[in-house]
Structure 1
Amino acid sequence: MSLLSVERIKLFSTKSPYWCLAVILVATCGLSLAVSLVDDGRDATVFTSQAGGAMGLMTFMVMAALTVTTEYRFGTIRNSFLAVPQRALVLVSKTVLMAFIGAVIGGLAALASFFLAKTLAKEPPTPLELNSAADYRVVLGYSALYAIGAVLAIGVGALVRQSAGAITALLLWPLLVETLLMLISSLQKVIPYLPFNAAFNFVSPGGSGGMFGRTAFLPGGPSANQGLVIFLVTAVVIWLVALVTVYRRDA
């Protein structure tokens, strides 16, 4: 618990985390409303109320990665490792803290987006209500994605150690690489199983479609729960590889 307290104090000792979390909330809700309120909300659904979820997740992962890379940049990670020779405990405490924050902010952003869309959409095709398990998954599933995203981001940050490199990897893979790979016809059966495409099946109404719906026209793919497991396994594997490198390399 003391390590968690130390990490919490280090994280919130500056104003930047507060601004980042505020930006995540505002940007997520703003983009979701922009999509949901088109044509006075006549096309608004529970799913469209979460249109800003992907951008919010990307932003949060950048924030999580910076909690590691910033310490490497300024050399403060050495003090942490001197105080706690078991380096795994330092990485675990960072991960637990950011995963918890991610689960909270992801859930808050999703719920705020949903209730704002519900309040402001004048003529939705059907009442915006959470009537089924799938509806709750589409909204509250972002808590799980944010938490797992924190694990992935901290793993990438510990592997790369440089802010620019970590941010580039975290943004280019989901936004560019997974999209460009769709142009290779021989890989189309694999595309739905890529980490972010699989992850966003968990917050899609039918449990398919991937990130931005880009795999909706592809056959097969994981179910909603399978997609979440793929994302989790990917994050854990990268985190474990990062842990090994943390022990092998000098701080």
Structure 2
Amino acid sequence: MAHTSRVLKSEWTKVRSVRSTVWTLALALVVTVGLGALICLLTNNEYDDMSAHDKMTFDATFVSFAGMGLGQLAMIAFGVLVVSAEYSTGMIRNSLAAVPQRGVFLLCKVIVVGLLVLLVGMVTSFVTFFLGQSLLGDHGVSIGDHGVLRAVLGGGLYMTLIALFAVGVAFILRSPLLTFGILMPWFFLIANILGEVNATKKIAQYLPDQAGQTVMTVVQESLDRPYGPWQGLLIMVAWTVAALVAGFAVLKRRDA
């Protein structure tokens, strides 16, 4: 236990001493809150011009999370950087020499990263919601309304899982350029395109981001999914666990 606590302290020191990782977390908060506020303001101004169908399926909670698409990219960057920074600088050799139990090394990194992004994710989610609803005016909802608190908590959990998924992929690929080259276009562009094309829509809805974001919806009629919000989040949990397990397998089998 004493050994594990020292490893946890070491991982915390690594995270807070690398300036880029701190800035990515701040960027995730600013982008998600800022873009969400802008979309809510524009939506409030244009609400009266919306069609009857759009008004019936209007999800005020999900609208406030409109900035999550870009904010998640910063969380992905954070997850990649906390792993790839050690590989790119060669520090990984010292880390594994100090902690030869690679399972302990990975677990401690996941705990530190997970708790940190959970804190930032929850703050981001609640600030995004309350600011967004204030800008929606009469079209907003209350945190006490049915399904709203679940959606707001789910927003924080989503950001946590997306960062941990990136950690797992970074351990698999080990190269920052390769990891960024795959994850950024995938989550920013490709996954959304696959979700809009009829031929791939049924498959795309089981991708981590497409499934995970359902937990932030309150009006289920606005989404066409064969599963509910918590089931969608569980699908994302499965993707995250799979990435971390695969990352551990690579870490255990390959030299630094």
Tell me the TM-score normalised to structure 1 length.
0.87
CA distance in 1, matches of 2:198, 2:21: 42
Distance 2:156 2:102 in 1: 27
In structure 2, stretches of 5+ residues that fail to align are 48-58
Q: Aligned-pair distance for 1:248?
A: 1.1
Give the match for residue 205 of structure 1: 218
Which secondary structure does the structure 1 equivalent of 2:202 belong to? coil
Amino acid at match of 2:19: K
Partners in 1 of 2:40 and 2:60 — Cα distance?
A: 7
Q: Tell me what 2:7 maps to.
A: 3
Matches within 5 A, 1:10-21: 10-21=14-25
Is 1:225 aligned to 2:215, yes or no?
A: no
Aligned partners of 1:250, 1:134: CA distance in 2, in Å? Answer: 47
Give the aligned residue type for 2:98.
A
Match of 1:124 in 2: 138
CA apart distance, 1:48: 1.5
1:122-159 deviations in Å (ceiling 9; x for gaps): x432x431123411122221221122122211111111
**TM-score using structure 2 length:** 0.85
Cα distance in 1 for residues equivalent to 2:161 and 2:199:
29
Moved more, 144-153 or 187-196: 187-196
Farther-moved stretch of structure 1 (188-197 vs 27-36): 188-197
Deviation at 1:40, TM superposition (A): 5.2
Structure 2 CA distance for partners of 1:18 and 1:231, relative to 1, 3 Å = same
Is the aligned partner of 1:91 residue 2:95?
Answer: no
1:213 alignment counterpart = none
Amino acid at match of 1:53: M
The answer to whether residue 191 in structure 2 is matched with residue 178 in structure 1 is: yes
Q: Distance in 1 between matches of 2:141 and 2:230?
A: 24
CA contact (8 A) 2:124 2:156 kept: no
Structure 1 residue aligned with 2:202: 189
The Cα RMSD (Å) is 2.2
Of residues 197, 222, 243, the one that matches 1:238 is 243
| Matching residue of 2:51 | none
CA 1:51–1:39 in structure 2 vs 1: closer, same or farther (change >3 Å)? closer
Q: Distance in 2 between matches of 1:188 and 1:39?
A: 26
Residue 68 of structure 2 is matched in structure 1 by 53
**Code of the aligned partner of 1:144:** L
Q: Distance in 2 between matches of 1:41 and 1:113?
A: 18
Q: Is residue 53–residue 110 contact of structure 1 (8 Å, CA) maintained in 2?
A: no
Residues 41 and 148 (structure 1), Cα distance of their counterparts in 2 relative to 1, 3 Å cut: same
Distance 1:249 1:39, change over 3 A: closer
8 Å contact 2:40–2:133 — kept in the other structure? Answer: no
> Counterpart of 1:144?
157
Cα distance in 1, alignment partners of residues 35 and 164 from structure 2:
25
Flag the structure with more relative contact order, 1 or 2, with Cα contacts below 8 A and sequence separation at least 6.
2
Please say which of residues 172-181 and 76-85 is displaced more in the overlay. Answer: 172-181
Task: Answer yes or no: is 1:32 the counterpart of 2:46.
Answer: no
Q: 1:135 to 1:167 in 2, by over 3 A?
A: same
Distance, in Å, in 1 between the alignment partners of 2:22 and 2:203 is: 38
Q: Gaps (5+ residues) in structure 1?
A: 210-215
Partner of 2:80: 65
Instruction: Give the conservation status (yes or no) of the 8 Å contact 1:141–1:203.
Output: yes
1:52 positional shift: 1.1
More helix by share: 2
Deviation at 1:182, TM superposition (A): 4.5
Percentage of identical aligned residues? 28
Deviation at 1:98, TM superposition (A): 1.0
